[in-house]
Structure 1
Amino acid sequence: MNYQFSVILPVRNGGTYVKECVNSVLAQTYPNFNLIVLDNNSTDGTKEWIASLKSEKIIIYPSNNDLTIEDNWARAVEVPKNEFMTLIGHDDILLLDYLETMNCLINENPNASLYQTHFKYIDASGGVVRDCQPMVKIQSVTDFINCQFLRTLDSTGTGYLFRSKDFEVLGGMPISYPNLIFADYELWIKLCMISCKVTSPDFCFSYRLHNSVSRHTNGEDYQQAFKKYLKLLISLRENSDIKKAIDENGIIFLTYFCQSLSHRILKTPVTIRKITVNQFVKECIELSRDFIPQHLFKPYYKIQILAAILLDNKFGRVLYRLFKKIKLL
């Protein structure tokens, strides 16, 4: 069966990268698709360039006002779409056979609710940084969460494909996450809960590591998004399979992010954050009581977390920045 696909591209001022992205979509060997562009009032000619292509496959939904990244992505729920859809970042690239591979994957696994292929990470100039970690063909939601907890899964906002009706029933990308950090994980989990995730062994897209929001977001936004995601996982403990995954590996996940976000908060200027490192760690302890009630979460026993707490003062932050510079030499 030949399915109909929609590729959704939210963009603001995509520059050179969006041209490479759009051309990779239009070059697909599989013909049954359209490209839906959600242009966020671009001022660099992005919308005009895409319109100049005069492709019957392209549908542009412009915005006459500047939208937040969250509000622009939210429009994906409202626009008419084909039966299956995928979201793509404006600096990412689909290989020629991405949709062809997805069509075959759906025909082989029609009952799955989430589809993906393997992919490569590329740098700003398009050079390959590395392959994604290998993925098994079929993953339940428990498998998916366990892989996330153990960091044996590379997951991005690009490359997943799913039914448009499921996306709409779930309300689309959850936009209450600051800068959409962890928002895609919530969406993938909820889609995976419908049935399962199926992955092709083929490498069919490239994800660009270039000024991504999550890499440059300050600690304030990141920790707010993390706490929201943790509360989602707590609510999902009602599912016995998800509860099992959380009970087994949730403490690893919580410890990792408590440490990494403590350091991110430490690097964030105090003028643009509302929380100290120690306050964040205490909030993690409080959330752990509902997240992993059978475990005693002891972040103060982790030297990296304790060091971040002790350095979270004017003198300590100077020392921390100096240490980071020395490490780069």
Structure 2
Amino acid sequence: MSAPAVSVCVPAYQAERYLADTVSSVLSQTFADFELVVLDNASTDRTPEILAGFCDPRLRVVRNERVLPLADNWNRAVAETTGPLVKLVCADDLLHPRCLERQHAVLAGDPALALVCSRRDLINEEARLISRNRGLRGLVGRVPSPVVIRKIVRHGGNPLGEPGGALFRREHFDAVKGFDARWQFPMDLALWIRLLEFGDFYGMRESLAAFRIGRGSVSARAQRAEYAEQRYLSERLAADPEWDVRRRDRLVGAAKAPGARLRRQALFLIAKRQAERAE
């Protein structure tokens, strides 16, 4: 049996609330040649029952015997895939119907590209739209990797977005040994940066995924830790001679970082208030 053109993996832990919608959004793709691997991270809620309710030959369910840490679990989810192009979708996020069709056409059609990302919508706990077509400002179309790195430093946050909006090559993922557990919050961005060592970036203007923001995401302590990690990652990038980051880029990034943090906090607060009004 030949490998699919694209593999989608969903790491799921205690995911009963949103998992059915996430799986359905993947199985509803207009692109047909894909597999969906869901890795149940030893969940004790209804996650196994929900997965058992799907009957689709493209879906394969794997279960951990014990709960794995985040990076190990995500890496195992990718390791279970068989296709040359991979997308990881968190168990509460959604793909728009043409996501795989549009992204596969770009990445499979150009071997010099290492990473394709799309803009994404931000939704709340009830899947109501909070903000449309977020991300990739100044990064639409084909962009050389050094330019992307400088944009990341200047942005002060993550301008490329979460895993659901990205498609990458399995061979590159394996070469860099996957997600790095040394990072907690910018773990996805740290991977995108390492993948860009293998080729250029392509940013898609249209929104092809939806990232869910829940009220449980609002934590002042977590936000401070995330901000500190993000700044440290940017400083490491700026100091790496491979990327030729200019002093001006560093200064702009340092000035923009507090604003990026405040915008993120505002989105979480909107989601929290919407959820409270819905109760």
Please state which band the TM-score falls in when normalised by the shorter chain: 0.7 to 0.9
The correspondence of residues 45-84 of structure 1 with structure 2, limited to 5 A, is 45-84=46-85
**Correspondence for 1:201 among 192, 201, 205:** 205
In structure 2, give the amino acid aligned to 1:153.
P
- In the alignment, is the contact (CA less than 8 A) between 1:86 and 1:160 conserved in 2? yes
CA distance in 2, matches of 1:199, 1:217: 32
User: Which structure has more helix as a fraction of its residues?
Assistant: 1
State the partner residue of 2:95.
Answer: 94
- Please report the RMSD computed on the Cα atoms of aligned residues, expressed in angstroms: 2.9
- In the alignment, is the contact (CA less than 8 A) between 2:124 and 2:214 conserved in 1? yes
Is 2:191 aligned against 1:187?
yes
CA distance in 2, matches of 1:176, 1:87: 19
Is 2:43 aligned against 1:37?
no
Q: What's the offset of the Cα at 1:42?
A: 1.0
State the partner residue of 2:181.
Answer: 175
CA distance in 1, matches of 2:221, 2:80: 29
Other structure's SS at 1:76 match: helix
Q: What's the offset of the Cα at 1:117?
A: 2.1
Q: What's the offset of the Cα at 1:3?
A: 6.7
- In the alignment, is the contact (CA less than 8 A) between 2:149 and 2:237 conserved in 1? no
The count of aligned residue pairs is 256
CA distance in 2, matches of 1:223, 1:102: 30
In structure 1, give the amino acid aligned to 2:120.
F
Q: What's the offset of the Cα at 1:187?
A: 1.0
**Correspondence for 1:138 among 133, 138, 142:** 142
Superposition TM-score, scaled by structure 2 size: 0.80
- Aligned CA distance change for structure 1 residues 214 and 161 (closer, same or farther; 3 Å): farther
State the partner residue of 2:116.
Answer: 115
Superposition TM-score, scaled by structure 1 size: 0.69
- Aligned CA distance change for structure 1 residues 157 and 227 (closer, same or farther; 3 Å): same
State the partner residue of 1:248.
Answer: 248
User: Which structure has more strand as a fraction of its residues?
Assistant: 2
- Aligned CA distance change for structure 1 residues 220 and 118 (closer, same or farther; 3 Å): closer
Q: What's the offset of the Cα at 1:176?
A: 1.5
Other structure's SS at 1:158 match: helix
- In the alignment, is the contact (CA less than 8 A) between 1:156 and 1:184 conserved in 2? yes
State the partner residue of 1:276.
Answer: none
Q: Which 4+ runs in 1 deviate beyond 4 A?
A: 211-217, 255-261
Once the two structures are superposed, residues 233-279 of structure 1 have per-residue CA deviations (whole angstroms, 9 ceiling, x without a partner) of 256x221xx223x4221123235547988xxxxxxxxxxxxxxxxxx
In structure 2, give the amino acid aligned to 1:132.
R
CA distance in 1, matches of 2:69, 2:18: 20
Q: What's the offset of the Cα at 1:172?
A: 0.6
The correspondence of residues 243-322 of structure 1 with structure 2, limited to 5 A, is 243-244=244-245, 246-257=246-257
Q: What's the offset of the Cα at 1:148?
A: 2.4
Other structure's SS at 2:17 match: helix
- In the alignment, is the contact (CA less than 8 A) between 2:4 and 2:82 conserved in 1? no
State the partner residue of 1:238.
Answer: 241
In structure 2, give the amino acid aligned to 1:225.
E
CA distance in 1, matches of 2:259, 2:212: 26
State the partner residue of 1:157.
Answer: 163
- In the alignment, is the contact (CA less than 8 A) between 1:109 and 1:198 conserved in 2? no
In structure 1, give the amino acid aligned to 2:241.
E
- Aligned CA distance change for structure 1 residues 214 and 9 (closer, same or farther; 3 Å): farther
- Computing the radius of gyration from Cα coordinates, the structure with the larger value is 1
